Amino acid sequence: MQLHNQSLPLMYVGQGVRTRLVGISGSQRTAHRLAELGFVPGVELSVVADSGSALMIAVGDTRLALGYPLAQALLVAVLEKGAS
């Protein structure tokens, strides 16, 4: 998948930063699995917590934990920094 201008992997944005998903890198299987979990381009999400090996991610009212390899596949654009 092509990288979008101003996008970066979700695992690098930091806790409390609001983002919009712009793409998914990796295999088609990875993209399909993430889409099943609600990670589709255009959805807003943010990192709630970082355990050092996984991220707790807020997607709407849902909280999901993703390991770093999957979190790195989520390419996001920063909307605004939270008050963390």
pLDDT digits (tens, 9 = 90+) for 40-55: 999 999 999 999 999 9
* Summary mean pLDDT of the chain: 88
All structural domains of the chain, each given as residue ranges with its CATH number in brackets, are 8-75 (2.30.30.90)
pLDDT tier at 2, thresholds 50, 70, 90? very low
Q: Is the pLDDT of residue 4 over 60?
A: no
- State the Cα angle at 2 between 14 and 17, rounded to 5°: 15
Cα–Cα distances in angstroms (integers) from residue 39 to residues 42, 75, 83, 84, in the given order:
9, 10, 24, 23
Residues 63-75 have pLDDT tens digits of 999 999 999 999 9
Cα–Cα distances in angstroms (integers) from residue 14 to residues 24, 44, 80, in the given order:
18, 15, 11
Answer for the pair 30, 79: CB distance below 8 angstroms, yes or no. Answer: no
Q: Report the alpha-carbon distance of residue 68 to residue 28 in Å, rounded.
A: 18
pLDDT for 84 equals 47
